[in-house]
Structure 1
Amino acid sequence: MKRFSVLLALAVGFIFCSAAFAAFPPVPVEKINPGFIYIGPIGDGGYTFMHDKGRLFMEEAFPGLKSTYVESVPEGPDAARVMETLVRNGSKVVFANSFGHMDFVLEVAKKYPEIIFMHCSGYKVAENVGTYFGRMYQARYLSGLVAGSMTKKNVIGYVAAYPIPEVIRGINAFTLGVRKANPNAEVRVIWIFSWLDPGKEKEAAKALIDAGADVLGMHADTGAAPQAAEEAGIYVVGYNNDMSNYAPTKHLTAPIWNWGIVYRDTIRQVVEGTWKSEQVWIGLKEGMVDLAPFGKDVPDSVKKLVEDEKAKILAGGWDVFHGPVKDQGGVVKVPGGTAMTDAEMLSMNWFVEGVKGDIPK
C-alpha cells in the first residue's frame, strides 16, 4: 500500500537520485490545474485527510490556483486511467499519494513528457517524475519523549501496522525518545497487518492496555486506538494529525504530516520554471513533519524537554539515529560518533533496545 516504498527499498537498495535533470519551463499559476489521486477517502481522518489538507494549503498560497482530486484510487491499472483523465482535463502537474501508484505514474508520465508528476514515497524517477516523503522519525522521537515522561508503569503500548522499515523506523525513533526521557520504560508492540482497520486497531489497543500499558503509541490511520485509550482512562500519542477529538482528555500529542509544504513548494518551482526531477525527503527543519499541540496534562518540564531536543535536530549536526544505538539484544548497531545513513534508515529491519516484540518475517 501507500508506504511500501521502504520495503522495496530494502530489496533494491534505495539511492537518492543524482541525475542532472533539466528544469522545466515555467507555467502560469492559472494554467497549472494540479490534479491529485488519493489512495483513500478524504474523510479517513488520517493519511488521506492530511494530504487533502495539504492540497488546500497549496491553493491558499497561490491566488487563482484551482486543483482537483480523485478519492480512493486503487493501486492498479485504474490509477493510470485516472491520471490520464486528469491530464486530458488540463492538469499540468499530477500528484499521486500512494506507493502502489508508482509504476502507473511512470507509465503515464512516459506518454506525457510535458506533464510533471510527483509521487509520494516512491523511489523511481524520470525526467518528468519526482518523489517526495518526510522524515517522520524526527517527530516520532519527540513524541516518544512525551510518552516516556508520562508513563507511571513504565509500559507503553504501540499499535503497529505492518513490519516494514518505515514502521520499524518509527517504533525505534519513538522508543529512543521514550528511553531518553525514562530509561526504565519499555515499548510493547502489537502488529495488526493493516493500515486502516478500526476494529483491529481498537482490539490491539485494548490488548496492550490489558497487558499493563498506561500510554499508547500508534502507526495506523484511524482514531480507534485513541478512542480505546480514552475509554480506558490512559494516555495516548496519536498519528497523522491531531487526534485529540478522539481522546479529548487523554491525548498527549501526535506526530503529524504537513504535506502542503511539498505541494506549495512544487507549485512555486513550476511557476518559476525551476522544477526538475528530484527525490525529496525533508523533516522538521522544513516543516514537513511536526507535533500536534500538547494535551492539558503535559507538564511544562516535558514541553521544555521536547523543545530542547527539537532544537538539537533543527540546529543540525545531530539526528535521532546518531550513535551509540543498541539493538534489542544490547549489541551496538550504531557506534558513538557515527550516524545512520539515509539508506540505512530507509531499510531498517531491527528493533532498538527497549522494544518488546518481534519483527515477523
Structure 2
Amino acid sequence: MVDWDLAVRVASRIAGDGPEVSRTEAEDAVVELRDGANASTAYVRDFTGLETPVHDDPERGAPVLVVDRPGWIQANADAFGHLLGPLVDRLTERKAPSGLAVAVGSRVTGVEVGGLLGFLAGKVLGQFDPFHAPDGRLLLVAPNIVHVERELDVDPHDFRLWVCLHEETHRVQFTAVPWMREHLFSEVQALAATVSPSGVDETFKRVTETIRGGPQRLGSASIVDLMSTPEQRDILDRVTGMMSLLEGHADVVMDGVGPTVIPSVGTIRRRFNQRRKGAGSLDRLLRRLLGLDAKMAQYRDGAEFVRAIVDKVGMAEFNAVWDRAENLPSKAELSDPEAWVSRVL
C-alpha cells in the first residue's frame, strides 16, 4: 500500500544534506555524539535510579547510531512499515487490492509519506526507535544537531552532550522497562483494530468537508484530530499520556543533570526554547496539522507532571510509574499529578 523505496527517495530529496562541514568536522561530530550518548548512560542512571540490563549476547542491547538525514529517513520508513503492518492486514483481510490499485496507490502514498518524512528529517535531532529488533536503537541525526548548534550560536560540545542526555534517557527508559515496548505496540494494534474500509471512506469524507470549510472550521485541529473516531481518540489519549511521560521525564533529566556537566546549559535552554517560538507561518501551519505542536506540549506537560511528583514524594517513589502499564498516567492525570499519586501510591 506504500512504495517505501519511493518514499525514501522523495524524502531524501526534500530533506537535503544539511549544513556544509569538512570531513574532519563530520568525523569529530560522529565520535563526540557517540561518546556523549555512552557517557550519558551513567548520568541518567545516577539521576533516575533506572538500571539498564547488561547482555552477554553482543546482538542484544539498543545500539547508538549517528546518522545523516537519509539514514534517519530510511530508519523511519522501516519503522513505519513495521507499525503499519497490522493496519494493512486489517484493510486487506476481506479483499486484496487489485494490481492497478497497488501500482498506482502505492506510489501516491509513497510520495505523501516521503513528503512527511522529508519535512521531519530536517528537524529531528535524535530519536529512540523502540521497534527495531531486538531491543530498539538510538538515532542521533548529526547534520541537524550541527545546524541547530550553529543557529543558536552555542558551545557545540555542550549542546551535543545536552541533546545526548535527552535522547539517552529514552534509551534507558525502554531498556530498563522492557514491558513498555510491547505495550506501545499493543496500542498500535488496538488502533488498527478500529479501522475498516468503510470507516476509512467516512473519515476522508469528514476530513474533506472540514478542510473545505476553511481555517475557521479547521480551528486548532491536527490531521490526527480530524481523522480519529471517539474510540480511536481514547486509545490516542492513552498513548499521549505515555509519550508525555517519556518526553517530560527526559526533559527533567537533561535539566537536572545538565548544570553539573554542561557549563552553558542555561544559555542553551533559553535559546532553544526561544527557537521553538520563532518558526515561520508555513512552518507553524505544518506543525499544527502534523500534530507537532501537540508534541511540544508533551514536553511541557510531562515535565510539569514529573517535577510535581518528584518534588512531593522523591524520585524513588515516582519510579513506581515504571512498574507496570496500569501505573502510566492518563492524559487527565498529566494536569492533575495529585490524582496519579492517590491512584498509584
Same-fold status (TM-score > 0.5): no
Normalised by the length of structure 1, the TM-score is 0.23
Report which of the two has the higher share of helix.
2
Report which of the two has the higher share of strand.
1
Normalised by the length of structure 2, the TM-score is 0.24
